[in-house]
Amino acid sequence: MTPVKIEIVQAGNPILRQRALPLTVEQIRSREIQKLIDTMRTCMHEAPGVGLAAPQVGLALQLAVIEDREEYHKDVSEALLQERERSPVPFHVIINPVLEEVGGEKAEFFEGCLSLSGFSALVPRARAVRVTCLDERGEPKVIDASGWYARILQHEVDHLNGALYIDRMRTRSFTTMENLAEFWKGKPVSAIKAELESQSG
């Protein structure tokens, strides 16, 4: 089940469009899945990224690892961290997650993906969510999250359902990371959206 060498698959690989298979508690606690979790954690750190789903490493399993490390925030302005409602999230695992949007409030920010290397786009997401899942020990867990953490959860759960952020993105905002830095860095999302809408007219 576990590949010899884990590599992050890129968009176009059919596994990214499959609905992943749930895991039993027995499977979760197996040596194989525990080793997979450790390997995925290392792979996520090396990328680096804040989340990695099993389909991204070629395995159609309802499992994802998440961690938004404090060191990832050091080059982000305090204003942007506040706007995104972003703060560190400790390492954890979500298995067989069921996601529910809470409230009705939406937030829109640039989002990237390790399986769409080098690109980004504005993606509207629910500002708050509740995720019911199992943890890495197979124990039931309920996660209430808002802001950037809620966005990470939605992104990873999408992967487990065969969806990518490009399915939800504001299409005219799709950009390379280089052009994002050159043309949009530091601009508020509201200004970027207004500019994109004015160009379409």
Task: Compute and round to an integer the Cα radius of gyration of the chain.
Answer: 17
Spell out the SS3 assignment of the chain.
CCCCCCCCCCCCCHHHHCCCECCCHHHHCCHHHHHHHHHHHHHHHHCCCCEEEHHHHCCCECEEEEEECHHHHCCCCHHHHHHHCCCCEEEEEEEEEEEEEEEEEEEEEEECCCCCCCEEEEEEEEEEEEEEEECCCCCEEEEEEEHHHHHHHHHHHHHHCCCCHHHCCCHHHCEEHHHHHHHHCCCCHHHHHHHHHHHHC
**Which residue, chain included where needed, has tokens 């065969």?**
162
195 in active site: no
Closest CA to 188 of 109, 117, 75, 77: 109
Provide the token pair at 20. Answer: 């992943």
Choosing from 100, 156, 182, 197, the catalytic residue is 156
Provide the annotated active-site residues: 156
